[in-house]
């Protein structure tokens, strides 16, 4: 893909990320802090598969900072950064092994995101009080990640690339 095409694609993905975060904010909370759908990760994964690691990391970082500037507070930024970083590293490593499809990778990323967020929250508040949320957060992250993985598989298929093995046409 041409450089300008890549740039345009990254811009569209970042914008879409932001839109999806906004849609998620309007959904009612289930009453346990930290449980959400993580739809924005679909765009980060699209960038990771269609463009590259560095570029996807950029999309992820811009998404988190934008969300903080417009909706969040500073502690929220710390939680998001910890979750975003851990899930991103997890995705890159699992993708490199070549053994998992986007569904498995997304499931692990969801769980990793919630673990990272809880870890940051434990450092900032009281570790013992938060530990009880860990099992439910891991399970919820896995479940939402699996659903996102199925979506991203469909997205990658329609964008003409499967499993990152073939070059993107157009």
Partner 1 sequence: MKNKLLTDAALIAGLLLLSAAVFFALPKGGEGREVCVTLDGEEFATLNLYDDAVVDIGGRCTLTVKNGEASVTEAVCRDGICLRHRPIKRAGESIVCLPSRVTVKITGGTDFVI
Least distance (Å) between residue 130 CB and partner 1: 6
Please state the length of the chain: 170
Least distance (Å) between residue 111 CB and partner 1: 5
Least distance (Å) between residue 37 CB and partner 1: 16
Q: Which is nearer to partner 1, 9 or 94 (CB)?
A: 94
Least distance (Å) between residue 30 CB and partner 1: 9
Residue carrying structure tokens 């490593």: 93
| Alpha-carbon separation of residue 121 from 25, 27, 63, 117, 126 (angstroms) | 20, 23, 20, 6, 8
Least distance (Å) between residue 165 CB and partner 1: 11
Instruction: Count the Cβ atoms, other than its own, within 10 Å of residue 34.
Output: 19
Report the Cα–Cα distance between both ends of the chain, in Å, rounded.
7
Q: Which is nearer to partner 1, 26 or 170 (CB)?
A: 26
DSSP code per residue over 139-152: HHHHHHHHHHHHHH
Asked if 50 and 5 touch (Cβ cutoff 8 Å), the reply is no
Residues that bind partner 1 (CB under 8 A): 29, 31-34, 73, 75-76, 79, 94, 99-101, 103-104, 107-108, 111, 121, 123-136, 138-139, 141-142, 146
Q: Which is nearer to partner 1, 32 or 154 (CB)?
A: 32
DSSP code per residue over 119-170: HHHHHHS-HHHHHTTHHHHHHHHHHHHHHHHHHHHHHHHHTT-STTTSPPP-
């Amino acid at each position: 893909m041409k450089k300008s095409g890549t740039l345009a694609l990254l811009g569209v993905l970042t914008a879409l990320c932001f839109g999806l975060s906004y849609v998620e904010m309007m959904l009612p909370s289930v009453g346990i802090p930290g449980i959400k759908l993580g739809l924005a990760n679909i765009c980060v994964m699209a960038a990771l598969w269609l463009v590259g690691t560095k570029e996807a990391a950029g999309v992820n970082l811009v998404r988190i900072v934008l969300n903080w500037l417009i909706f969040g507070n500073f502690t929220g930024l710390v939680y998001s950064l910890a979750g975003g970083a851990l899930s991103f590293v997890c995705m890159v490593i699992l993708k490199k092994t070549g053994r998992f499809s986007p569904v498995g990778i997304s499931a692990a990323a969801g769980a990793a995101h919630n673990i990272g967020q809880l870890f940051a929250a434990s450092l900032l508040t009281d570790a013992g009080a938060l530990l009880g949320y860990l099992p439910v957060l891991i399970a919820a992250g896995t479940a939402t990640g699996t659903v996102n993985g199925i979506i991203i598989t469909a997205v990658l298929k329609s964008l003409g690339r499967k499993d990152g093995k073939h070059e993107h046409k157009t």
